[in-house]
Structure 1
């Protein structure tokens, strides 16, 4: 069997359609991913995305019984089988840290998102995991206006889950360049507020150099202004997850991207803390 490492987030390492294991640098242990986009389709096309053959689109119809069977079978293997030995996972990483709805595209594009949330919560309950591990939804937040997404978020919150809401830029120009979508900062604010009032929400931000240049002062100031506006509106954001490039992009812009020095991330984190917001930095 291949050895799982923090640099390998392959979605098919366990040979399953919807469930995949990740040794996560952020969580410090085993993260169990739920991939609702096995068709490699997303409504965004972030330049740093590690998904090969990424296509524009949404999640396909999900075989809910297969997802249930895969998740239950995988949890049984991890908790009662020899999963850790087969994948040669070190002793200090042999703990389930979270179950993350993530994968190869925007998971909230799933037409039955609320039912998927209910399914995951039910399986976690069967294994007595609710309240013992994190439940994370990693999302670009662009579909928070959909009733099925809002219903799913409300239930996710009831299960003790949280949202990691992607905000890589707070300018229309920056979002077009990084995420390759046309959005206004006001739309991002509105979607963030929807998410945070329905479910515990963190902002997840990737900072990197583009053509050797770090984010401009204009970009950084706009980001800080967005955070200040969230505070002014009393939007209950938990904090910021600030991270840099860790694995190579599979997009055509990959040669133009490079990691920033850790000191850059640390300095920007201090600017965020000066606003009274919590920050976690992952290089």
Structure 2
């Protein structure tokens, strides 16, 4: 962590990008990871091509990432890994039950695959994990909306991830339909989403990442839920590398204007949905 930055115990409910005093690297304790995840933020300008209603990024704006200082990124990651592997980071910053390093995750404050430096950033992660004896022992995760997975250069990086214990979390919050997606505030094309998912799963272990919640006091309708379950069943047949579904609810407050309209879905409703998805033959990891 940066010299002189105050020690702050990490919490599941707080994924602050500045918790280590860095620009590109931030540690979090993650429900889905079940331990410490080192985040790589290639969008420090808070810009994304989507605007999900539940997004926790403050001052989110439409757009792409700025140029990345790759030397600074590598220095920050090396320092963070040193603190975790050789220092007292776990003892000082992490609750006892979560003191394990699970992954390095490309996530951050926008869509990481929009960065032209995405491939170079993966090379840095691979190099530093090798230096600390962690390559192949912990996961490298890409959390993505999948919008850039038509680009050969992005698919090449995803393919490299697949060779080094990589995992891709592909955001699908509702069954994609042609037209405007309210939850993600973008125009979607169903056929394109399917193509991108298949392309990703052919190159790297892929999970669907789905957030469910109440909007304006109402849960997703039965029509919406049935469409989502049918979509999962369809994907299972078409995407051989699809591992399952990461199903989660609201754990941290949205920073978007719609925040007052959102509420966590009841635990029993989430469990019932997880069972319906499991019945399609896919593993479900539920985080409520």
TM-score (normalised: structure 2): 0.94
Confirm or deny that 1:40 pairs with 2:73.
no
Counterpart selection for 1:179 from 184, 192, 210: 184
Query: RMSD over aligned Cα, in angstroms?
Result: 1.4
Q: Deviations over 1:224-254 (max 9, x none)?
A: 2211221332532100010100000000000
Confirm or deny that 1:56 pairs with 2:57.
no
User: CA separation in 1, counterparts of 2:16 and 2:196?
Assistant: 30
SS of 2:18's equivalent in the other structure is coil
Moved more, 19-28 or 157-166: 19-28
Counterpart selection for 1:125 from 126, 130, 143: 130
1:179-218 pair list within 5 angstroms: 179-218=184-223
**Structure 1 residues 266 and 282: CA distance shift in structure 2, 3 A:** same
SS of 1:16's equivalent in the other structure is coil
User: CA separation in 2, counterparts of 1:234 and 1:114?
Assistant: 24
Q: Which residue of 1 aligns with 2:21?
A: 15
Moved more, 135-144 or 224-233: 224-233
1:132-143 pair list within 5 angstroms: 132-143=137-148
Moved more, 8-17 or 19-28: 19-28
User: CA separation in 2, counterparts of 1:251 and 1:106?
Assistant: 17
Q: Which residue of 1 aligns with 2:242?
A: 237
Indicate conservation of the 8 Å contact 1:18/1:67, yes or no: yes
Q: Deviations over 1:5-53 (max 9, x none)?
A: 1111100010001000101122222111111100000000000000000
Moved more, 174-183 or 56-65: 174-183
User: CA separation in 1, counterparts of 2:30 and 2:236?
Assistant: 30
Counterpart selection for 1:79 from 80, 85, 90: 85
User: CA separation in 2, counterparts of 1:19 and 1:234?
Assistant: 32
SS of 2:188's equivalent in the other structure is coil
User: CA separation in 1, counterparts of 2:87 and 2:238?
Assistant: 49
Q: Deviations over 1:49-107 (max 9, x none)?
A: 000000101121111111111101110111111223443x2233222111111000000
Q: Which residue of 1 aligns with 2:149?
A: 144
Q: Which residue of 1 aligns with 2:3?
A: none
Indicate conservation of the 8 Å contact 1:169/1:175, yes or no: no
Structure 2 unaligned blocks of 5 or more? 1-6
Confirm or deny that 1:249 pairs with 2:215.
no
Moved more, 78-87 or 94-103: 78-87
Confirm or deny that 1:280 pairs with 2:285.
yes
Structure 1 unaligned blocks of 5 or more? none
1:104-115 pair list within 5 angstroms: 104-115=109-120
Q: State how many pairs are aligned.
A: 282
Q: Which residue of 2 aligns with 1:159?
A: 164
Q: Which residue of 1 aligns with 2:264?
A: 259
User: CA separation in 2, counterparts of 1:158 and 1:236?
Assistant: 13
User: CA separation in 2, counterparts of 1:211 and 1:109?
Assistant: 32
User: CA separation in 1, counterparts of 2:44 and 2:124?
Assistant: 18
Q: Which residue of 1 aligns with 2:10?
A: 4
User: CA separation in 2, counterparts of 1:263 and 1:158?
Assistant: 38
**Structure 1 residues 256 and 80: CA distance shift in structure 2, 3 A:** same
SS of 1:21's equivalent in the other structure is strand
TM-score (normalised: structure 1): 0.96
User: CA separation in 2, counterparts of 1:170 and 1:114?
Assistant: 30
